[in-house]
Structure 1
Amino acid sequence: MTRLPTLISPAELDELFAGARPPVVLDVRWTLPRPDGREDFMLGHIPGALYVSLDDELAAPAHDDPMAGRHPLPDPQGFQATVRAWGVDEDSTVVVYDDNQSLGAARAWWLLRWAGKTDVHVLDGGLGAWQQAGLPLAGGPFVRPRLGTFTVTGGHRPVIDAAGAADLGARGRLIDSRAPERYRGEVEPMDPRAGHIPGALNRPTTENIDPSTGRFKDPATLRAEFERVAGADTLAGAASAAAAAASPQEPAGELGVYCGSGVTACHNLLALDTLGVTAALYPASWSGWSADPQAPAATGD
């Protein structure tokens, strides 16, 4: 089978179901006001999909240290048990989706890539695109499959800490993925302080989606928009650094991304990945940065 791109269509997923080895399909329905999507899953989901709780399965429990952020990365051993509980083997194809512009699905995609899983894809347009294609839904709970065999190693996608985020911000190479009003510090509904990391550039994840289709914008449009924010040289440098990395665990170091708690930033990382650009995630994001009383906060544009 020809290797699939990061974003796949409903027709491509349907074709995978018809193959000799059906994919592992993960339903990651999640929103900030309603983080548990289990009830919606039971009302209708892609047949064979497993429900994944973003808060419980795609993040570690909240740390005693608030500077770790609201959604800390899971440790590799714990995440391995989770991935194996999904029935993922070394050679499994994994497809993730949700019903909210792929915001939850992007977190699952990034974590699996960080864990070392390369054959993982996002259903472009999510559940809505599946339904628009006239494909069926199933109802009721899911049944856990047999345990998989995938080994999580971690570190296969670059991450940065607060010092790394500050450095990239100072060099104009840090993207804040939150809504503009949160970036400017006009409102802050979730975290200890309002504002953004000094030097960060605002690129809301919602701008990755074409509102007329509910799917990611085409690569040429995405590239032009990211270049307007971060500069063509920064994107080219990040792409070159990723291509020249001596190992998959070598940090890209040219571009960083954060959000409120390390979830929606993965949507920008996904969009950049479709352009051949690997950027680093600041997992604690603004929730961790703003919890440090010594960390400076900038406001306005």
Structure 2
Amino acid sequence: MTPAPLITPNELQKRLGEGRLRIVDATVHLSFDADGAHVRSGRDTYLQGHLPGAVFLDQITELSDPNGEAPFASASSENFAAAVGAAGIGNDSTVVVYDTVNGIWATRLWWQFGLEGFDDVVVLDGGYNAWVAAGLPTETGESTHPAATFTAHRRPERIASTDEVVTATAESSVLLVNALDPTVRPVTYCGGGIAATAAAFALKALGRDDVAVYDGSMNAWTADPDRPLSSADSRP
């Protein structure tokens, strides 16, 4: 079984100060009310407290394509590379991602790095809350690093579009649930392509390297009222 791409707070604390280490706060705040789902950048909570040396990457603006088929559609390879490079993440970096909520925003960023051909990235086990609970130090304000060169190499097999999912619904070789059958390719989905990355993360830990994420998920699927539904979910 492949080890989960996780690092514990104590393991990370021992590595603070390594020259190639880059820690990223990936927080997005998600809330629901009678009007539906709402997202807000996590930059404010990042400034109030973050891991030592951590930078913030805004998944709402910097890492999403505003012209994509659904909210949070992945940014182009060029825009992703520009954003992470400006944050000081280069081809030789070792990246740790975390969030201050339930972990799905960290796995979303983990997945985006993998989508762009970068594998030296792990998720902080338990996120910011576990770091604080362990009594480890935090900082306030903005942390920066010198800009670096990040070269993206898109892996198209790790992302599924709505057209591909429509085709997949008629194929026995693709299953739109979390599957371990080696003859069936898993495609994970959710409301908006965020929580689906947590399923992809778990499947990676179980040794599956062929998992695709339906990036638009239910947001994109339900944009066409003629597409069939057995259930619906508005969550990301």
Q: TM-score, normalised by structure 2?
A: 0.85
What is the 5 A alignment of 1:145-294? 145-155=145-155, 158-170=158-170, 171=172, 173-175=175-177, 234-237=179-182, 254-278=185-209, 279-294=211-226
> Kindly tell me: are residues 18 and 82 of structure 1, through their superposed partners in 2, closer, same or farther at Cα, counting changes over 3 Å?
closer
Shift of 1:42: 1.3
CA distance in 2, matches of 1:85, 1:157: 27
Match of 2:22 in 1: 24
1:107 is aligned to 2:108: yes
Report if the CA contact (8 A) 1:95-1:123 is conserved: yes
Equivalent of residue 58 in structure 2, options 53, 57, 81: 53
SS at match of 1:74: coil
> Kindly tell me: are residues 281 and 163 of structure 1, through their superposed partners in 2, closer, same or farther at Cα, counting changes over 3 Å?
same
Q: TM-score, normalised by structure 1?
A: 0.68
Shift of 1:132: 1.6
Report if the CA contact (8 A) 2:59-2:72 is conserved: no
> Kindly tell me: are residues 104 and 157 of structure 1, through their superposed partners in 2, closer, same or farther at Cα, counting changes over 3 Å?
farther
CA distance in 1, matches of 2:181, 2:229: 29
Shift of 1:18: 4.4
SS at match of 1:77: helix
Report if the CA contact (8 A) 2:162-2:221 is conserved: yes
CA distance in 1, matches of 2:75, 2:81: 9
More strand by share: 2
SS at match of 2:219: helix
Higher-Rg structure is 1
Match of 1:222 in 2: none
Shift of 1:166: 3.2
Shift of 1:263: 1.5
Match of 2:36 in 1: none
CA distance in 2, matches of 1:264, 1:73: 14
Equivalent of residue 42 in structure 1, options 28, 47, 66: 47
The one-letter amino acid paired with 1:264 is A
CA distance in 2, matches of 1:289, 1:156: 19
SS at match of 2:47: helix
Deviations 1:206-264 (A, max 9, x none): xxxxxxxxxxxxxxxxxxxxxxxx5xxx41316xxxxxxxxxxxxxx611111112112
Q: CA RMSD in A?
A: 2.1
Shift of 1:31: 2.5
Shift of 1:5: 5.0
Match of 1:98 in 2: 99
CA distance in 2, matches of 1:169, 1:26: 36
CA distance in 2, matches of 1:157, 1:24: 27
SS at match of 2:101: coil
More helix by share: 1
CA distance in 2, matches of 1:277, 1:169: 21
The one-letter amino acid paired with 2:151 is T
Report if the CA contact (8 A) 1:46-1:137 is conserved: yes
Match of 2:34 in 1: none
Report if the CA contact (8 A) 2:4-2:204 is conserved: no
Deviations 1:98-145 (A, max 9, x none): 1112111111100001111110010010001111211101012333x2
Report if the CA contact (8 A) 2:113-2:121 is conserved: yes
CA distance in 1, matches of 2:190, 2:169: 13
CA distance in 1, matches of 2:181, 2:221: 28
SS at match of 1:32: strand
Deviations 1:82-110 (A, max 9, x none): 11111112111000001112111111100
Identity %: 33
1:299 is aligned to 2:226: no
